[in-house]
Structure 1
Amino acid sequence: MVSKAPRSQFPKPPLEGLRKQLKESRRDAGQQRGAFVRESFRLPRLAAREKAREWFEQFPKAAYWTEIESWQERPGDIIEFTMRRLPNAD
């Protein structure tokens, strides 16, 4: 015959508060679009290169995971691009 472990003399804590916090944090996370800071630009080619250099100098790739997330050429030698980085470095 298998013996059962004794029941705890303490009641289980209510979990409704925890459920509410989890639900709210998941909702908020869905609205943030991830942990990255993004900024989009539409500049002439040379100015676009300079702007990207500024970002990489100000937010080094090794610490902030800085990268050009997307880019495309537009008529008139205009480059439209989005830079992405972490909000802070640890």
Structure 2
Amino acid sequence: MRSGGRRPFDAFRRAPGSASRESDGWKRETFVLPRDAARIKAREILDRFPRAAYLTEVEFWRELEDGRIEFTMRRLPTSD
């Protein structure tokens, strides 16, 4: 999932501390890890909080100049 179709406002909504992020009810965690460690961490979170119960997803990711991956995981704080 690259950022090809995103608009400038999308980046504002993802900015730390933005009002829309604080009040939208989603739990977010951002990580910066080497590629292999990023895959392992994302898989751990997806296994721990399955999409069916928590709507867990990788909300945003990008490769940094040094090859590390920055990504944000998003999920509902509790399941029904």
Q: Which runs of 5+ in 1 are unaligned?
A: 1-28
Q: Which has the larger radius of gyration?
A: 1
- 4+ residue runs over 4 A deviation: none
The secondary structure found in structure 1 opposite 2:39 is: helix
The secondary structure found in structure 1 opposite 2:47 is: helix
Q: TM-score, normalised by structure 2?
A: 0.71
Higher relative contact order (CA 8 A, sep 6+): 2
CA-based RMSD of the aligned residues comes to 1.7
Q: TM-score, normalised by structure 1?
A: 0.64
Q: Aligned AA for 2:54?
A: Y
Q: Which runs of 5+ in 2 are unaligned?
A: 1-18
Give aligned pairs, total: 62
The secondary structure found in structure 2 opposite 1:56 is: helix
- Shift in CA distance, 76/51, structure 1 to aligned 2, threshold 3 Å: same
